[in-house]
Every structure is written in structure tokens, then in C-alpha cells.
Amino acid sequence: MYKSFLFGLICFYGLSVSGIPDNSSAPIKDGLIKVLILSGKNNHEWQKTTPVLVRLFKDAKLFSVSVTEKPETLLYADLKKYNLVVSNWNTWPDNQVRLSNQWENDFEKYVNEGGGVLSLHAGASSFYDWEAYHRIGIGRWGKETHHGAPIRGKVYGFDQNHPITKGMSTFYIMDEIWEKTDIFPGSKAISALSATDEKDGHPIDVQSVFVSQTGKGRCFFTTLGHDERALLNSGLQTLLLRAAQWCAGREVTIGLPAEFQKKNSVKDQFHWNQTDTSLTLSNHSETIWQYNYNNRLGKPYFHPLTVNYSDLTCVSSPFPDGSYYIDEEHLFRSLKDSVVLDRTPIIGEPGGQSWGGYAGLSIRFNQDYTSPQIITSADSIPCPKCSWMYMGFNGLTGEKAGMAVLQQPKFTTNTASWYVINDPKIPFYYYSPAILFDGKLILKRGETLTLKYRIWMLPGAVTKDKLQQKFEQYLNKQR
């Protein structure tokens, strides 16, 4: 449970963690899978989603990736260089447009001879008068198809007999949910999607992931993947990577995110391991998380134990409910006559930017999280001068979890304000007790700036009273 929300933490040194297993050491049979992504036109933001797809396949280290923004120029000689075509391209709303007879024949020949095709969301909504393309693409926007704004949906009912979905379990995603998608007859559904429409409250329960075969070619389609935010969900990423292997005619070897692994009945047994380069929290032999604080191994990840006078003073053992905390203290001393600590200007200042103002301890959560909840020490949100703030979510598999940052009042600056990003248009959630939000700080020689926090990792639901109690306990300990 802890692992699913620990991965959202970034403390000063930045962290980028994917929920997709690292396959870098997996043996590659028959070489890399050669992928061609069709892009350049779509009634969705392909300029944002195509780079996410490229990064997804490249990071898996099992694929070589090419992109074309002119799919209409492809011939059979071009297509046969690839094991898999991924369509993030369509001709919508010009549904009746047709390309040349040679293009259509070459594309069908490629698939019939064993080329794989993976289409996501609107990637097959083209060439409505060409039946073979519908059969290959499987799903498209139809006359009765409709959707509302992106909402939280439950992806479930995975076919445990199909290589793509074997072992997968229910996960949640923020995405645009299509109802009454035009699916080519005879295609096989291997997963479903349910949600509640936010506009009128009607229940939604639809099939969302499909496979088929045309000649020797394997085809995959999902209604998921509307935007960059949806494509960052590790459940969907796992589906796409496993589908890519299957469509390419390879064995499906992509592993499942840790959240999908079936929990066994072995009792948790947590312990700390420390070496000259790292501090690790383990459960039996499994690493839950780790601090690497020796630069000779590359960029420190999570937070180094000591950098100058900046310390992690305490990391508690997990409590019976699975919660634990980290106490942080940071000491900055000016070694020059005058040191200016400043940040990017905020909106309303000269050169102000929407991302201006943040500096200091930062908490960032990835796209596996849905249903954000913010609780502060006051009764209002926003609350720039609150003593503490909590941000919680439902995780990838639906469990509630969150993090609270408690500020030690004696060590905060008069320029600090809470900085929060909770915007569905931005592909992550974020908050920070931003120490320079209200303006720059100037330290004269010998002057110091001390920051002190307690960060609570909290599985399950919490209340304001519970959080306030933890804050008061923290203050009492510091006296």
C-alpha cells in the first residue's frame, strides 16, 4: 500500500518515477520490436500525446520507435520495415476521405502478412467507407457515440486467458469515456470500463479494450488514451506495452505494476538497511523505497541524508496503520556579504509566469492518482499561510492515500505561502510550502535560513481533526 503513494514525493532534488516495471535486464528475443507511430493529424492534441507514446516505448527498452506525420505517403516497402504500426492519427471529421488504391492495398497487405496494428482512442476514426480499415482498427467514433468531460473510470474485467491482460487487475483512470463506440463485428473484448456520468449521474458500463486478427496480423484497440494525462496512467501504459508485444507477434514479457501483484498472506516485516551509499526500507526482501546519497553513483534520488547542513533528522518506523513520517531540517548559511534567494516571478509581477513562485520542499503526485482531496489547518481553501496541508487521492487500484506537510512555525519565513496545483488540464498534482512565494530573501554574511518540516505518509482516509492532532504532537515534541 505504501509504495503506491510514496512515488509521488519530490524533495528539493527532483524525482521521476514510473509505475511501469524496468525491463532493461529482460532478454530480447528476435531483437527490438520496430514501431512506427502514425501522427500529424488528429481531432485530439497529437502534439502532446505522440511524444508521450514515443517516450513510453523507448523507456521500455524493448522497442525502436519511428514517427511519421505523413502517413498518407507510406507504401508497402515502408511499412514492412516495422513489426507494429501504432495509430495516433485520423482524418476526422473528413470521414469519407479515401487515399489511393495502392495505399489501401499496401496497408491491407502489410496486415495480412503479419504486421501488427495498435489503435488508441480516436486513432482508428478514419476512412468510414473502407470496411477493411474498420476491421483492422476495430473501434471508431460512430453515429451514436458520445462522451462527457474526462472523469474517473474503473477499468476492470480483464480476460485472464489473453496474453495482454493475463494477471491484470482493476485500476482507475481519469479519461474521456466513450459510450456506444462503433466496434467492428466479431472483435473480441478483453476488458471493460465503468463510471458515473458527472452531468446527469447515469451509470456507464462499456467494453473498452478489444483485439482481433486480420490474416496473419494482430490488431488491438482501446477507447482509452484521450490525452496526455490519461497516457501517463501506469495501468494504461502497461496495457499498451503488452498489447504492442502481442500485436508484433512476440511473447508478452512486460511485467505488471507492483499494485497489480497479488498480495500474499505473509505478514509484513519491515526493516531498515544502511550502507555507505544508501538507506533502504524493506519488507522481507522487497525494497519499498531507498535513499541513495552518494554522488559517485549518479544524481541522488529521493533525498540525500546530509548535504552541507541539510539533514533528514528522523524517519519513523511504519505504524500499525501503515503510516510513517519524515522529519526534515535544512540550514542555509550565507558565506558572502549578500546572498539573494529568488524565484520565477508570479502572475502580476513583471515577467510573471503561471509556474512562478515555487521554491523549497515540493510534493508532486503522478497520474495514477484520482479524486484529489485537500485539507488545511483553516476552514478555507486556498490557505496561503496555513500551518499544515494535506493532499490525498485514490490510487491506481482505488485505495485512499495521501501526504501531509506540517511546518514548524519557529523556522518558517515571512515570505512563505502554500503553492498548489490541482488542475485537470495539468498532468500532475503538486503542492509546496513555497518559501519564496511572497518575494525574495536576502541573507547577509553569517546569517542563516532554517526550514523544518514533518512529512506524514498516510494510507486510508483522514480527517481534519486527526491531522490537527498530528500537528500538535509535532509541536509538543519540538518544545
CATH assignment of the domain containing 177: 3.40.50.880
Nearest 10 degrees: CA dihedral of 249, 253, 255, 260? Answer: 60
User: pLDDT at residue 377 above 60?
Assistant: yes
265's grid cell? 498472506
Q: What is the mean pLDDT of the chain?
A: 86
What pLDDT is attached to residue 301? 52
What's the pLDDT score for residue 314?
58
Residue 121 included in any domain = yes
Residue 400 and residue 426 in one domain: yes
Is the pLDDT score of 135 beyond 90? yes
CA 353 to the chain's CA centroid:
24
Quick one: 148 and 250 in the same domain?
A: yes
Q: What is the pLDDT of residues 227-269, one digit of tens each?
A: 999 999 999 999 999 999 999 999 999 999 877 765 444 576 7
pLDDT digit string, tens, across residues 435-473: 999 999 999 999 999 999 999 999 999 999 999 999 999
Do both 142 and 240 map to the same domain? yes
In this predicted structure, the answer to whether residue 392 has a pLDDT above a threshold of 50 is yes
pLDDT tens digits, residue range 314-354?
567 678 888 989 888 888 899 999 999 999 999 999 999 98
**Residue 179 bridge partners (DSSP):** 146
- Is residue 266 in some structural domain? no
pLDDT above 70 as % of the chain:
85
Residue 2 within any structural domain of the chain: no
Domain membership of residue 7 (yes or no) is no
Say yes or no to pLDDT of 362 above 60. yes
pLDDT on residue 20: 46
Which of the listed ranges 261-265, 337-341, 362-366, 381-385 does the model predict with the highest average pLDDT?
337-341
Range of the domain at 42: 20-257
The model's confidence at residue 303, banded by pLDDT at 50, 70 and 90, is very low
Same domain, 231 and 326: no
Statement to judge: residues 144 and 282 lie in one domain:
no
Cβ-count burial 72-107 (b if 16+ within 10 Å, e if not)? eebebeebeebbbbbbbbbbbeeeeeebeeebeebb
- The answer to whether residue 209 is domain-embedded is yes
Cα distance between residue 437 and residue 292, in whole Å: 30
Q: pLDDT value at position 6?
A: 33
Looking at the structure of the chain, the number of domains it has is 2
What HEC string does the chain produce?
CHHHHHCCEECCCCCCCCCCCCCCCCCCCCCCEEEEEECCCCCCCHHHHHHHHHHHHHHCCCEEEEEECCHHHCCHHHHCCCCEEEECCCCCCCCCCCCCHHHHHHHHHHHHCCCEEEEECCCCCCCCCCHHHHHHHCEECCCCCECCCCEEEEEECCCCCCCCCCCCCCEEEEECCCECCEECCCCEEEEEEEEECCCCCCEEEEEEEEEEEECCEEEEEECCCCCHHHHCCHHHHHHHHHHHHHHCCCCCCCCCCHHHCCCCCCCCCEEEEECCCEEEEEECCEEEEEEECCHHHCCCECCCCEECCEEEEEECCCCCCCCEEEEEEEEEECCCCEEEECCCCECCCCCCECCCCCCCCEEEECCCCEEEEEEECCCCCCCCCCCEEEEEEECCCCCEEEEEEEECHHHCCCCCEEEEECCCCCCCEEEEEECCCCCCEEEECCCEEEEEEEEEEEECCCCHHHHHHHHHHHHHHHC
Q: What does the pLDDT read at residue 313?
A: 53
Can you give the pLDDT at residue 260? 77
211 and 165 housed in the same domain: yes
- Higher pLDDT: 7 or 451? It is 451
Residue 13 lies in a domain: no
C-alpha cell at 201: 449521474
15: pLDDT strictly greater than 70: no
pLDDT tops 70 at residue 48: yes
Statement to judge: residues 168 and 127 lie in one domain: yes
Give the pLDDT confidence of 198-225 residue by residue, as tens digits: 889 999 999 999 999 999 999 999 999 9
Residues 308 and 193 in one domain: no
Residues 242, 312 share a domain:
no
Q: What is the pLDDT of residue 329?
A: 86
Residue whose grid cell is 502497461: 238
Reported pTM: 0.77
* Predicted pLDDT of residue 277: 75
User: Which of residues 62 and 305 earns the better pLDDT score?
Assistant: 62
Indicate whether 351 and 435 sit together in one domain.
Answer: yes
pLDDT score at 16: 28
262 assigned to some structural domain? no
Q: Are residues 249 and 314 in the same domain?
A: no
- 429 and 292 fall within a common domain: yes
For 29-38, what is the mean pLDDT? Answer: 90
Last residue of a domain, one of 257, 289, 316: 257
Among 167, 214, 155, 169, which residue's Cα sits nearest to residue 188?
A: 214
State which of 257, 284, 316 marks the end of a domain.
257
* pLDDT (average), residues 354-364: 86
**Between 317 and 146, the higher pLDDT residue:** 146
- As a whole number, mean pLDDT of residues 299-318 equals 50
Q: What is the pLDDT of residue 342?
A: 93
Residue 134: predicted pLDDT: 98
24 pLDDT above the threshold of 90 = no
